[in-house]
Structure 1
């Protein structure tokens, strides 16, 4: 007898002259097979605060982003952890994007419901509306988070509104026949609870038709009362079938897998044969392995056998795979899938046929400045790819950078990688310190100050400085600082004194990116990477940092030249 699975039906309807002008977005994803049993199904609706193109884009991105990232979270995470992590990452990205636009913002209300097993989990922020129809009972599940300003109602809690987000969460048991309605604030003042029940129940077998009835009735009511009826949307989800028995959460199975034992070349595990031991540290083991079925060579990373009881570390270890999966860049290591099911705790990455940057530098002492800058620019693109996904690497140094036989850079080792947080990255800093700081770590890690993207900027610049000069920018390694007064001991050594090929402009860019004070570094990583693309300083005058710092001296010089030309022209008459 085949065990029954969760089964849902869906209906949708929009009222808009053109769908692309609608400020609301909604979608449902019902995966197949194992993913449905592990992660369930999800319905999402978003509603932006304005009607411009940016607002529409924010709504679409939030819906698509949630559905893509939620189903990519590690299997061992429960629904609440998975959805919360994804929503916080989306919120951080939307909030950061709003800083780069003049009109509009990446801000939207959002409600997401996950149906897993015999339970529903609701995540809500803002003023989108979620109702449940059970029998004749029609109940609103979401709370309105709104503020009245000058007669207008605005969301007081929304995705992208602030750097941190407070998410309403509730779970509830499901019953066969439950119908969930997702809509927006535009419907307020048009339909009564009895209208919803009547219009949905009129022909509950066709949810699309029910949504069309809701939309047309709401539009007619709005026009009768003298206001616009062009922004209505309705989404219905019906529970057609529930699993017969609520089994143990499948998502925990992966987290309960045993840590692999110590492995040596020739050993086999889950159809993978160990070819070489690449690294053994206190936290992890890294092996080069060959898939005996597909013949592919890959890299296996597993926790150290001695840490099998340290659940906090194992939780972060499992996060690493999700981190790598979120980033799509040729300059960042990629996650691979084994041809057989895993029976031990590890993850696989693509094998890079190459060497570490530290080994490359030893073998190529005569490499040109152009070669070294090309490597630096590729590394910068890898760090940018992480930052676009609101991730900090925190361990950028030559031993974590690989160069293949074609000269392409691949950033590896995500042991200290973490998502952007709203607490000054306190937990990120603690994780980096636990794994061990390096001579390229930014000073704020040693001084318990807030860390962020500019901390990665420092590590990147320090690695580039080392690549260009073979030395470190300061006599005292920043990771050995003991107090803020020690910052005065950090005196920058000009890269030009160690490598005359380094231009003045490039040296200035390195100096700024390596400033001991995090706030004084480049505001955006792209500014530093621009300097790497233009090492001779052939930049427009308004992009020159020295000009920006000393505008008075610049214009005094211009005035002096003009005065000299005027005097010469007078004397030569």
Structure 2
């Protein structure tokens, strides 16, 4: 007999003259059986303020964004870790977008409930409302975070309101028959607890009808009391069935798989044949493999067989695939899905037919500054793609950058990649130290200071400086710094003394991005890239120089085409 699975029902109702302008959004998602056991089902509601010109967009984005990201988190993460990471990332995105618009904001209250196994996990920000009806007991589970300003009540501690966010969390045991109500602050002052219980219990088997009764009654009460009753929404979720006790355990997917053994050329693992060994380090193994079924070539990355199961890097390895899956850019390598179930712990990436930036520079010592600047801009775009997803790369250096046969840059290693400000700066720094500091690492990593996007900016600028000159910007390697007073010994070596093609403006741009003090660098990576291109169109002129160098090839290709056409015409006219 099949074991019971978590099962729930839900109903919804909106009251709005124009649904397209409604400032609230809500949803319930129950995934397939495998994800249901690992990630659970999700119900959530968001609400923005009536005075927000972007209220509808803010509510919709918070709901859709959360659902998309939460069910993409690694299966070995527990619910609290997954939700916190997703909410902090979503908060950073909403806060950043709000700063770029002058009319309205992406601020919204949000309540999320995850139903997994025999427990519910509630995450709450702002002033949305969550209640639980158990028997005749009706209890509010969320706290109202509001601020009174000029007679108006505004949500506080809401999503997107600040760069950091404080999330309420509660873990609740479930009972079969529990009913959870999600609604917004608009309902305050219209219904009493006894009203909720009575209206829901009239016919609890039809949750949509129960929501309609709540909405209609709330609207009537609001009109009787002389205030707006056109922005109500209600969502009810009922627990119909719970899994057995022994099934209430974390899903065993990638986190419980064994580390692959050491592999050699010709050996096979999960239908993947090893073609070559690309890298062996203390932390990982990287192989070029071919799927024997499809013939597709890929790159397999696996933890080092010597790693302990309690090693901090092993925990981070499980995040890397999720990190890469979140980033969509032609300058960042893509994750591939295996054609068979995995029996070992690894992930697959597209195989880039090319070479590292180190090898490229060695093979092209006479490459023009225009070509090198083009590569630098592409590296910046790859890093921007990560930063837009609130990710720090932390290991930008020439051996982590690939250039394919078409000259396109691809960022291909994420050994130290980490979510910004999620687990604190110390964890990011410790991860980089375990993977290993490089000569392009920012000084703050060696000095145990705070790190951030400007730390990535330094590594990028150091790599660009090396690309232009073949040298490092400082005689004292940053990874050898021991004390903050050592920063005084870091004297920038002008790139112009090593490569006269570098203009004074370009040299000043690198000097600023390579400032030993993090606060003195460009505030944003986009500012650095803009300055790198040159305010006077220097980059455009260099790009045109690259194009003009291709003109002879295009000319002879055109001549060959015309001759071929004449030959065909002469043959036809015989």
TM-score normalised per structure 2: 0.90
Q: Contact 1:531–1:537 (CA<8 Å) still a contact in 2?
A: no
Residues 146 and 535 of structure 1: CA distance in aligned 2, closer, same or farther (over 3 Å): closer
Provide the secondary structure at the position in 2 that maps to 1:413: coil
Residues 335-380 of structure 1: CA deviation (Å, up to 9, x unaligned): 1111111111111111111111110111111222222122111111
Give the conservation status (yes or no) of the 8 Å contact 1:117–1:243: yes
Match of 2:82 in 1: 82
* Equivalent-residue separation in structure 2 for 1:110 and 1:311 (angstroms): 36
Q: Does structure 1 residue 320 correspond to structure 2 residue 283?
A: no
- Compute the displacement of 1:384 (Å): 0.5
- Assess if the C-alpha contact under 8 Å between 1:111 and 1:122 holds in 2: yes
Worse-matched range after superposition: 245-254 or 511-520:
245-254
The 3 A distance-change label for structure 1 pair 292 and 53 is: farther
> 1:304-333: per-residue Cα shift (whole Å, max 9, x none)?
111133342221110111111111111111
> Which residue number in structure 2 is paired with residue 341 of structure 1?
341
Corresponding residue of 2:124: 124
For 1:246 and 1:61, locate their aligned partners in 2 and report how far apart those are by CA, in whole Å.
37
Q: Give the corresponding residue for 1:511.
A: 511
Structure 1 contact 79–121 (Cα < 8 Å) conserved: yes
Q: What is residue 448 of structure 1 aligned with on the other side?
A: 448
Q: Which residue of 2 aligns with 1:552?
A: none
* Preserved contact between residue 88 and residue 422 of structure 2 (Cα < 8 Å): no
Q: Distance in 2 between matches of 1:424 and 1:484?
A: 21
CA distance in 1 between counterparts of 2:269 and 2:23 reads: 51
Q: Which moved more, 1:319-328 or 1:303-312?
A: 303-312
Once the two structures are superposed, the pairs formed by residues 53-452 of structure 1 within 5 Å of their partners are 53-247=53-247, 249-421=249-421, 425-452=425-452
CA distance in 1, matches of 2:443, 2:46: 41
SS in 2 for 1:305: coil
CA contact (8 A) 1:92 1:420 kept: no
| CA distance, structure 2, for counterparts of residue 423 and residue 284 of structure 1 | 23
Specify every segment of 5 or more residues in structure 2 that has no aligned partner in the other structure, as ranges: 540-574
Contact kept, 8 Å, 2:278 with 2:288, in 1: the verdict is: yes
Equivalent-residue separation in structure 2 for 1:469 and 1:55 (angstroms): 51
1:187 deviates by 0.4
- Higher mean C-alpha displacement, 303-312 vs 267-276: 303-312
Please list the CA deviations of residues 41-95 of structure 1 after superposition, one character each: whole Å capped at 9, or x if unmatched. Answer: 1011111235323343222222111111111111111111111111122222223
3-state SS in 2 of match to 1:11:
strand
Cα deviations by residue, 1:247-267 (Å, 9 ceiling, x for unpaired): 152434431211111111111
Aligned residues: 539
State the alpha-carbon separation in 2 of the partners of residues 254 and 525 from structure 1. Answer: 35
Specify the alignment match of 1:26 in structure 2.
Answer: 26
Deviation at 1:215, TM superposition (A): 1.5
How far apart in 2 are the matches of 1:378 and 1:538?
A: 16
Distance in 1 (alpha carbons) for counterparts of 2:531 and 2:65: 33
Aligned-partner SS, 1:406: coil
Go from structure 1 to structure 2 and tell me whether the alpha carbon gap of 1:174 and 1:24 turns closer, same or farther (over 3 Å shift). Answer: same
Shift of 1:385: 0.7
Q: Residue by residue, what CA displacement relative to the aligned partner does 1:226-275 show, whole Å, maximum 9, x if unpaired?
A: 11112211111122233245415243443121111111111111221111
Give distance in 1, aligned partners of 2:55 and 2:487: 44
The secondary structure found in structure 2 opposite 1:196 is helix
Residue 96 of structure 1 and its aligned partner are, at CA, apart by 3.0
- Please identify, of 493-502 and 267-276, the stretch whose mean Cα deviation from structure 2 is larger: 493-502
2:43 equivalent in structure 1: 43
Aligned to 2:571: none
How far 1:5 sits from its partner (Å)? 2.2
Displacement of 1:411 after TM fit? Answer: 0.5
Which residue pairs with 1:560 in the alignment?
Answer: none
- Taking the aligned partners of 2:246 and 2:420, their CA distance within structure 1 comes to 35
For residues 300 and 448 of structure 1, the distance between their equivalents in structure 2, rounded to whole angstroms, comes to 33
Q: Whole-Å Cα distance in 1 between the matches of residues 282 and 402 of structure 2?
A: 22
Structure 1, 508-517 or 417-426: larger mean CA deviation = 417-426
Aligned to 1:464: 464
CA root-mean-square deviation: 1.9
| TM-score, normalisation: structure 1 | 0.90
| Aligned-partner SS, 1:308 | coil
Q: In the alignment, which residue of structure 1 is the partner of 2:546?
A: none
**The 10-residue stretch of structure 1 (297-306 or 528-537) with the greater mean CA deviation from structure 2:** 528-537
Mapped contact 1:503–1:535 kept (Cα < 8 A): no
Name the structure 1 match of 2:542.
none
Aligned to 1:555: none
Structure 1, unpaired ranges of 5+: 540-573
Compute the displacement of 1:103 (Å). 4.2
